[in-house]
Amino acid sequence: GAVVSQHPSRVICKSGTSVKIECRSLDFQATTMFWYRQFPKQSLMLMATSNEGSKATYEQGVEKDKFLINHASLTLSTLTVTSAHPEDSSFYICSAQTGQGARETQYFGPGTRLLVL
Amino acid sequence: AQTVTQSQPEMSVQEAETVTLSCTYDTSESDYYLFWYKQPPSRQMILVIRQEAYKQQNATENRFSVNFQKAAKSFSLKISDSQLGDAAMYFCAWTYNFNKFYFGSGTKLNVKP
């Protein structure tokens, strides 16, 4: 089956530093990649949608200058949390989508836990 | 507004028994897709089952089946012969164009041995 990896799985950083999270589709090319944020015991909140070679589409309330998304290829998308602060601590999940029309399927990465001190 | 509601924050089921998780949604779209995802303690989201709204037949995947009531905008998940490994958070989700997915708040399923 399709596999999506995320790196790192866990990161601890100091306030004010930037953190980059990678999302890779290992055995398929993803037409679209999504970035979600999940708070403890809550649902997934969509942050942005990215397509290869184009600018990401951010959801309302998500600061695009703070959460930089780069979709460099059909198998790689990165999320950079710039000047991270403790309130950015969360679980970040990416997903990669493949297929067409009714056969489109979303595959999730294992998530990255970010702790900002 | 496009919303997904899971009214059961937590449920418990005895091993080998059957449990049904509820989900309702709100949309004005006529063609869309519905999903149930499982998130175990590892936090890896796993697709359990999907349903195309244009199909009247309820989807089934081994022990998992859905009861899709389009007019009522209801999409419940039935787990038969529950196993300890079924314990997880279950999220209902839908999309109409695969550009955005709407997730419910989740139901935590406990399986008692």
Task: Judge whether A114 is closer than 8 Å to chain B, CB to CB.
Answer: no
pLDDT in tens, A18-72: 999 999 999 999 889 999 999 888 889 999 999 888 889 999 999 999 999 998 8
Option in B50, B99, B106 nearest A43 (CB): B106
| B78 Cβ contact partners less than 8 Å away, ≥ 6 residues apart | B18, B19, B20, B21, B64, B65, B66, B67
Q: Phi and psi for B37 in degrees, rounded to 5?
A: -115, 145
- Least Cα distance to B100 among A52, A51, A27 occurs for A51
Select from B97, B98, B102, B105 the residue whose CB has the most chain A CBs within 10 Å, as the one to mutate to test that interface.
Answer: B98
Residue B1 has pLDDT above 70, yes or no: no
Task: Judge whether B99 is closer than 8 Å to chain A, CB to CB.
Answer: yes
Mean pLDDT along residues B51-67: 95
Select from B8, B45, B96 the residue whose CB has the most chain A CBs within 10 Å, as the one to mutate to test that interface.
Answer: B45
Q: What is the mean pLDDT of chain A?
A: 92
Q: Do A95 and B45 touch (CB under 8 A)?
A: yes
User: Pairing between strand A90-98 and B3-5?
Assistant: unpaired
- Using a 10 angstrom Cβ sphere, with 0-12 exposed, 13-18 middle and 19 or more buried, the burial of residue A60 is exposed
Question: Which one-letter DSSP state was computed for residue A102?
Answer: G
